[in-house]
């Protein structure tokens, strides 16, 4: 059995595991899936993303654009599984999952992102 004092001493010599967030960021894998990003100019309002979402996270809402009113995805990050099915099924590839993992809020409504907020 290891002497408890020796174990404590070995831990004291190690670097701290805590990052100074947000100045320091965790290194992410290439396949990491974070917050969604939407290119509103290339979205064709097909609603394929909303149809394939297994958790009913995406709803299509009316959005004002330069070309008039279009239906675009609104995403509830609180319900999202970050499975990336919406990204895979999007024909123009306008909806992608970024590596951004910093989304926080004091109210549950802050986790619902309108299309304008996903740009």
pLDDT in tens, 58-105: 999 999 888 788 999 999 999 999 999 999 999 999 999 998 887 778
Which of 83, 85, 1, 73 shows the shortest CA–CA distance to 37? 73
Q: How far apart are CA 70 and CA 22, in angstroms?
A: 36
Residue 5: inside a domain: no
Structural domain harbouring 97: 29-118
Q: How far apart are CA 111 and CA 75, in angstroms?
A: 8
Residue 4: inside a domain: no
The verdict on pTM exceeding 0.95 is no
Residue 44: inside a domain: yes
Residue 75: inside a domain: yes
Residue 47: inside a domain: yes
For the chain, what is the domain count? 1
Residue 19: inside a domain: no
Assign residue 81 the CATH number of its domain: 3.30.70.3270
């Amino acid at each position: 059995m290891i002497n408890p004092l020796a174990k404590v001493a070995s831990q004291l010599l190690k670097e701290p595991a805590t990052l100074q967030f947000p100045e320091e960021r965790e290194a992410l894998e290439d396949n990491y899936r974070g917050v969604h990003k939407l290119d509103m100019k290339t979205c064709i309002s097909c609603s394929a993303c909303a149809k394939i979402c297994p958790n009913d996270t995406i709803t299509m809402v009316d959005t004002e654009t330069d070309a008039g009113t279009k239906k675009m995805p609104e995403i509830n990050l609180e319900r999202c599984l970050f499975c990336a099915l919406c990204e895979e099924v999007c024909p123009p590839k306008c909806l992608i999952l970024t590596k951004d993992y910093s989304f926080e809020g004091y109210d549950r409504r802050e986790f619902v992102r309108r299309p304008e907020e996903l740009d």
